[in-house]
Amino acid sequence: MSRLLKGKVLGIGLVMPSFLTLLVLVAYPVMMSVRTSLQNRAGEWSWDNYRYIFTEPLISQNIRHTMFVTIISCFFVLIIAYGIALYLRFSTRFFSKLINKLYLIPMFIPGVIAVYGFINFYRNNGWVARLIGTDNMLPIIYHVRGLIMINVWFNIPFTTMLLLSALQGIPNSIIEGARDVGATKWQLFIRFILPLSYKTMLVAITFLFMGIIGSFTAPFLIDRNAPQMLGVSMQQHFSVFNEIGQSSSLAVFMFLLSSAVGCFYIWSNMKHSKKELS
Amino acid sequence: MQQFRQVKKIGVVIGLILMGLILGACGEGEGANADGRTTISIYSTGSQNVEAYWETVIPMFEETQDEIEVNLVFIPSGTGGQSTMDRLIAAKQSNNDSGIDIYEGTLSDIIRSENEGGLFYQLDEEGIPNLSNIDESNLTGANNMAVPYRASSVVLAYNEDAVADVPDTAEELYQWIKDNPGRFAYNDPSTGGAGSSFVLTAVYNQLPDEAMNIQDESIMDDWAPGFALLRDLASSLYNDGIYPQKNQGTLDLLASSEVDMIPAWSDMALEQINTNMLPSSTKLKQINPAFTGGPSYLMIADNGVDERKQASEAFLDFVLTVEAQEVVIDQMYGYPGIRWDLLSEEDQERFSDVSDGYRIFNGGELSEELVKRWQREVAAQ
């Protein structure tokens, strides 16, 4: 066996376990739900389920609500996490070192526990209300505000970690060089830091979007009863209404939304690597 | 970058462990009895108190003998308990062993089983001598196909200090809600029985008494006045119409005094009063016409294996002993399945507040339709 072939076999062999896992745990269930979504209750092929999710006003409200929450949450997470990452990268003060040690903590708190803590903290007669007075309390729990807040809280650590590693990859020499020729802070940011980190931002957006659009625990416990996030609506169709087909079609729709974002990410990556090659 | 790498490493390790678990689970066999012991599986569903009940009673049973091992499969409510019935039906149609020996369900499951040609064994006192402990009328109601081993109902739970004029009837309750805006809450009916009982009774209180037994979909046209009432009440509810998730959601609101009155399961409320999760000022009351409730039934699935049938019968027999029924009362705060006179007077006394009875809804799949319509017309109004 030639060396080249050996290398190829080794490569494929190394990829195989994760590929097979993906096939069994992701690809197969996806195919199954595509199939069930195309069958009506009698088991015949039909578009009924898709007609339902695109014509039923309840579902279109849910879809609009989901997109709203997802996009707004992504926006806030990105802004805040980028801010924290910039601060951590360029400040060497004691306070920044402290934050550097603390910001990952939310990642290690189980979701349900965090949500219950959040509810007890912000509910209409919770801790915050007791401090500032019940009358001054803005409704947060059972309101979309609360949902966006908890999404931001959940997602900041991971996003910050991603962005920070990108910013740390920018060599100090570039920044010092630019400063030496008289670049202002603003120019430094627009011309160097942003272009050198925006690819990681795309990665972060992809992760955020997929994570938030499919979330269940937080919207189930914090959001209003209607409109619902799609994850909650899907669970309701599946186990309360026993509408397996309709919940599958919702799942497929969500999958398509997520893959659209995934494709955008891959496309922008490929564009980049082509540039680097040529 | 260093941190990122570490996280990656942890991820790989977790992934490997998960894969191992999945592969391990695939190799597990059904009812292995190399040592001559019979293993039976009981499929149960409900809130956490039901799971805790089985976790107490099963070891009690296993201590009394050593031929039978009982395996509990618990499906929390709202997570697709109906699929157990679907599994039984699918197994029957394909002539396979469902792997389910004892199934905890409702009367409508028995009706469904009849339609499928009978999924369960007929029960008699020969196999289960303790059937004689049960009130005769409760058994015939289930066609001798199921053992009503416990019961509970939805009742009104309220804060005695805050509610001066406790409603006696449903009409008075609806009026109370309007007179005291923001002080009443019922949970999202798709997530727990207390809320769905409130919705159900609000709709069926506008109809003749016997409507609750109708399974024909034509009755859905008569639901309109009930839904109009629910829409009308919405603005007087907690937070202008917030329906907390799960039965526990409204109990939490009552405990933190955010509301003064809620519909709740008698067993859950009694348990939480006793463990001080609800303040001692919490009182329970059944109104007239009553909320819904009902017995929980145990059935023995027909898999064609005699050994497992006998083991299941022995287990059901144990569930109906005074010893096991006392767990229903003491730990679950449920109504016992056996006759009251077999129990101590002290226990009979404790239940005098809530044993005013309940109504049973026999509409079958109509209850799903009711929740669907509630979501569309009341939640999203």
Task: Say if CB B335 and CB B150 are below 8 A apart.
Answer: yes
Please state, in angstroms and rounded to a whole number, the distance separating the CA atoms of residues B378 and B371.
10
Contact yes or no for B380 and A61 at CB 8 A: yes
Statement to judge: residues B235 and B371 lie in one domain? yes
Asked if B256 reaches chain A (Cβ–Cβ under 8 Å), the answer is: yes
Give the start-end residues of each E strand in chain A: none
**Is B103 strand, coil or helix?**
strand
The two tokens of residue A70 are 């997802």
Cis peptide leading into B289, omega within 30 of 0? yes
- Tell me whether residue A182 is in a domain: yes
* B 287-306: CB under 8 A from A: none
Statement to judge: residues B146 and B167 lie in one domain? no
Statement to judge: residues B137 and B162 lie in one domain? no
> How high is the pLDDT of residue B31?
46
Statement to judge: residues B181 and B272 lie in one domain? yes
Domain that holds residue B116: 38-151+294-350
Closest residue on chain B to A243 (Cα): B368
Please state, in angstroms and rounded to a whole number, the distance separating the CA atoms of residues A83 and A75.
12
Contact yes or no for A21 and B19 at CB 8 A: yes
Measured between beta carbons, the chain A residues lying within 8 angstroms of B191 are: 240
Average pLDDT, chain B: 84
Please state, in angstroms and rounded to a whole number, the distance separating the CA atoms of residues B118 and A269.
60
The two tokens of residue A241 are 């209404």
> How high is the pLDDT of residue B356?
60
Q: How many domains are contained in chain B?
A: 2
State the nearest Cα–Cα gap between B257 and chain A, in angstroms: 9
Instruction: Tell me whether residue A263 is exposed, middle or buried, using C-beta atoms within 10 angstroms of its C-beta: 0 to 12, 13 to 18, 19 or more.
Output: exposed
Task: Say if CB B36 and CB B7 are below 8 A apart.
Answer: no
Please choose, from the candidates B269, B254, B259, the residue with its C-alpha nearest in 3D space to the C-alpha of residue B354.
B269
Mutation for testing the B interface, residue in A24, A62, A225, A237 having most B CBs under 10 Å: A225
Please choose, from the candidates B177, B185, B196, the residue with its C-alpha nearest in 3D space to the C-alpha of residue B375.
B196
Which conformational region is residue B144 in: left (phi greater than 0), alpha (psi within -120 to 50 degrees), or beta?
left
State the nearest Cα–Cα gap between A93 and chain B, in angstroms: 20
Q: Which of B3, B188, B375 has its CB closest to that of A58? A: B375
> How high is the pLDDT of residue A4?
85
- Tell me whether residue A62 is in a domain: yes
Q: What is the pLDDT of residues B1-20, one digit of tens each?
A: 455 556 566 556 565 565 55
CATH no. for residue A171? 1.10.3720.10
Please state, in angstroms and rounded to a whole number, the distance separating the CA atoms of residues B377 and B369.
12
Please state, in angstroms and rounded to a whole number, the distance separating the CA atoms of residues A127 and A76.
24
- Tell me whether residue B136 is in a domain: yes
State the nearest Cα–Cα gap between B137 and chain A, in angstroms: 31
Contact yes or no for A240 and B188 at CB 8 A: no
Domain that holds residue A150: 56-277
Q: Which of B7, B78, B239 has its CB closest to that of A239? A: B78
Measured between beta carbons, the chain B residues lying within 8 angstroms of A165 are: 1, 3-4
Does the structure show a pLDDT above 90 at A77?
yes
> What residues have CB less than 8 Å from B215, skipping those under 6 apart?
B362, B363, B364, B365, B366
Statement to judge: residues B285 and B300 lie in one domain? no
Amino acid letter, residue A13: G
Statement to judge: residues B259 and B372 lie in one domain? yes
In degrees and rounded to multiples of 5, residue B190 shows phi and psi of -80, -5
> How high is the pLDDT of residue B30?
45
Q: What is the pLDDT of residues A112-160, one digit of tens each?
A: 999 999 998 998 888 898 898 878 888 888 899 999 999 999 999 999 9
Contact yes or no for A104 and B3 at CB 8 A: yes
Asked if B132 reaches chain A (Cβ–Cβ under 8 Å), the answer is: no
Please choose, from the candidates B265, B303, B312, B304, the residue with its C-alpha nearest in 3D space to the C-alpha of residue B284.
B265
Statement to judge: residues B198 and B233 lie in one domain? yes
> How high is the pLDDT of residue A106?
86
Please state, in angstroms and rounded to a whole number, the distance separating the CA atoms of residues B224 and B204.
10
Q: Which of A139, A169, A242 has its CB closest to that of B239? A: A139
Average pLDDT, chain A: 89
- Tell me whether residue B9 is in a domain: no
- Tell me whether residue A32 is in a domain: no
- Tell me whether residue A124 is in a domain: yes
* B 314-373: CB under 8 A from A: 368, 371-372
- Tell me whether residue B33 is in a domain: no
Please state, in angstroms and rounded to a whole number, the distance separating the CA atoms of residues B312 and A164.
60
Measured between beta carbons, the chain A residues lying within 8 angstroms of B80 are: 238-239
B74-B78-B79-B85 Cα dihedral, nearest 10 degrees: 70
β-pairing, B38-46 with B293-300?
Answer: unpaired
DSSP B169: B
DSSP run (H or E) holding B294: strand B293-300
- Tell me whether residue A35 is in a domain: no
Statement to judge: residues B199 and B224 lie in one domain? yes
Contact yes or no for A123 and B256 at CB 8 A: yes
Mutation for testing the B interface, residue in A104, A239, A248 having most B CBs under 10 Å: A239
Statement to judge: residues B228 and B362 lie in one domain? yes
> How high is the pLDDT of residue A254?
93
Which of residues A217 and A269 earns the better pLDDT score?
A217
Please state, in angstroms and rounded to a whole number, the distance separating the CA atoms of residues A237 and A36.
14
> How high is the pLDDT of residue B181?
94
Please choose, from the candidates B212, B209, B186, the residue with its C-alpha nearest in 3D space to the C-alpha of residue B199.
B186
- Tell me whether residue B11 is in a domain: no
Which of residues A261 and B329 earns the better pLDDT score?
A261
Mutation for testing the A interface, residue in B26, B245, B248 having most A CBs under 10 Å: B245
Task: Say if CB B338 and CB B133 are below 8 A apart.
Answer: yes
> How high is the pLDDT of residue A253?
94
DSSP run (H or E) holding A173: helix A172-180
Beta-carbon neighbour count of residue A80 at 10 Å? Answer: 16
Asked if B20 reaches chain A (Cβ–Cβ under 8 Å), the answer is: no
Statement to judge: residues B302 and B364 lie in one domain? no
Please state, in angstroms and rounded to a whole number, the distance separating the CA atoms of residues B181 and B178.
6
ipTM of the complex: 0.78
Asked if B82 reaches chain A (Cβ–Cβ under 8 Å), the answer is: yes
- Tell me whether residue A60 is in a domain: yes
- Tell me whether residue B24 is in a domain: no
Measured between beta carbons, the chain A residues lying within 8 angstroms of B243 are: 225
Task: Say if CB B89 and CB B116 are below 8 A apart.
Answer: yes
DSSP B256: T
Q: What is the mean pLDDT of residues A23-38?
A: 91
Q: What is the pLDDT of residues B180-210, one digit of tens each?
A: 999 999 999 988 889 999 999 999 999 998 8
Does the structure show a pLDDT above 80 at A1?
no
Please choose, from the candidates B34, B30, B176, the residue with its C-alpha nearest in 3D space to the C-alpha of residue B101.
B30
State the nearest Cα–Cα gap between A123 and chain B, in angstroms: 10
Question: How many A×B Cβ pairs under 8 Å?
Answer: 57
> How high is the pLDDT of residue B29?
40
Measured between beta carbons, the chain A residues lying within 8 angstroms of B239 are: 124, 139, 142
- Tell me whether residue B25 is in a domain: no
**Which residues of chain B have a pLDDT value below 50?**
1, 24-32
Q: How many domains are contained in chain A?
A: 1
Beta-carbon neighbour count of residue B134 at 10 Å? Answer: 21
> How high is the pLDDT of residue B314?
92
* B 205-244: CB under 8 A from A: 239, 242-244
Amino acid letter, residue B180: N
Cα atoms in the Cβ-side hemisphere of radius 13 Å centred on A102: 7
Measured between beta carbons, the chain B residues lying within 8 angstroms of A125 are: 256-258
Statement to judge: residues B125 and B265 lie in one domain? no
CATH no. for residue B61? 3.40.190.10
Measured between beta carbons, the chain A residues lying within 8 angstroms of B79 are: 239
Statement to judge: residues B158 and B78 lie in one domain? no
- Tell me whether residue B3 is in a domain: no
Mutation for testing the A interface, residue in B18, B187, B191, B260 having most A CBs under 10 Å: B191
Closest residue on chain A to B193 (Cα): A240
